[in-house]
């Protein structure tokens, strides 16, 4: 494209109210994480590396269309959630939201419940975000406005092992800790409010990590108990066989 490139063109389309909602899929021969991050920062919905199979491109287009339909269905619910979130912020404050998450987390028994509660809490902060929880035996993705896009999932997978615990891309923020990745997509433009949100997110993140450790420990304990019970049953069966043979 003379005079510009795909990233700049994407940014121009996303900045215009008439074209901001158009899904854009990047087709590139460059598979580096840096290029994927540039596409994500520009506002792309997905990123496909050349050469590619036409069926894969078709599936990604269908996924974008389905996601667009889902977003329309969620619009009313999102509006309601936003009003509830603002009310909660006014009534209890940011720290109250974190305390409520910590209180609720005591009853959480699996990664799905934890991921869902994280997204509920992030919505209460007025944030549009994705969360990824990965335990030793399971992995879950969730978002405040529905399932994360394929590009968002791909981006999280790429940076999950990053040595940097905090990555900032414009008004987007990635927080990475063992067992959890948070992708914040709409940090406030105000530096004061953005700093306050960051501080609260770090507190929230510590609570999430503690719950991840707890869930992993509980899973190990359950496996150990199950193993011991199976061994006891097997020993009992062998003992019964010996008794029958000696009678």
Tokens 């700093």 correspond to what residue? 195
Least confident of 56-60, 92-96, 121-125, 207-211: 92-96
Query: What are the tens digits of pLDDT across the range 152-201?
Result: 999 999 999 888 999 998 889 999 999 999 999 999 888 888 888 898 99
Alpha carbon of 124 to those of 26, 73, 76, 77, 97: distances in Å?
32, 20, 16, 14, 7
Query: What are the tens digits of pLDDT across the range 16-68?
Result: 888 888 889 888 888 888 888 888 888 888 888 888 888 888 998 888 888 88
Tell me, yes or no, if the pTM score tops 0.85.
Answer: no
Average pLDDT on 87-92 reads: 50
Name the average pLDDT for the chain: 84
Average pLDDT on 199-217 reads: 92
Average pLDDT on 211-226 reads: 78
What whole-number percentage of the chain has pLDDT above 90?
32
3-state secondary structure the chain: CCCCCHHHHHHHHHHCCCCCCCCCEEEECCCCHHHHHHHHHHCCCEEEECCCCHHHHHHHHHHHHHHHHHHHHHHHHHHHHHHHHHHHHHHHHHHHHHHHHHHHHCCCCCHHHHHHHHHHHHHHCCCCEEEEEECCCCEEEEECCCCCCHHHHHHHHHHCCCCCCEEEECCEEEEEECCEEEEECCCCCCHHHHHHHHHHHHHHHHHHHHHHHHHHHHHHHHHHHHHHHHHHHHHHHHHHHHHHHHC
């Amino acid at each position: 494209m003379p005079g510009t490139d795909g990233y700049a063109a994407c940014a121009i389309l996303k900045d215009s109210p008439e074209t901001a909602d158009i899904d854009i899929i990047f087709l590139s021969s460059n598979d580096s994480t840096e290029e994927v991050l540039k596409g994500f920062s520009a506002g792309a919905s997905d990123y496909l590396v050349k050469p590619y199979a036409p069926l894969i491109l078709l599936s990604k287009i269908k996924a974008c269309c389905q996601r667009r339909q889902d977003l329309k269905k969620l619009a009313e619910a999102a509006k309601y959630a936003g009003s509830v979130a603002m009310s909660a912020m006014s009534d209890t404050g940011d720290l109250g939201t974190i305390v409520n998450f910590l209180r609720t987390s005591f009853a959480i028994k699996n990664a799905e419940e934890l991921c869902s509660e994280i997204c509920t809490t992030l919505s209460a902060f007025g944030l549009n975000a994705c969360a990824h929880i990965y335990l030793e035996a399971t992995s879950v993705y969730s978002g405040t406005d529905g399932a994360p896009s394929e590009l968002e999932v791909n981006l999280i997978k790429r940076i999950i092992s990053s040595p940097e615990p905090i990555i900032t891309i414009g008004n987007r923020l990635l927080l990475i800790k063992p067992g959890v990745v948070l992708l914040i997509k709409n940090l406030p433009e105000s530096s004061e409010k953005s700093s306050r949100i960051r501080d609260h997110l770090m507190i929230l993140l510590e609570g999430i990590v503690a719950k991840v450790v707890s869930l992993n420990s509980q899973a190990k304990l359950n496996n150990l108990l199950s193993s011991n019970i199976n061994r006891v049953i097997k020993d009992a069966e062998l003992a019964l066989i010996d008794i029958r043979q000696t009678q």
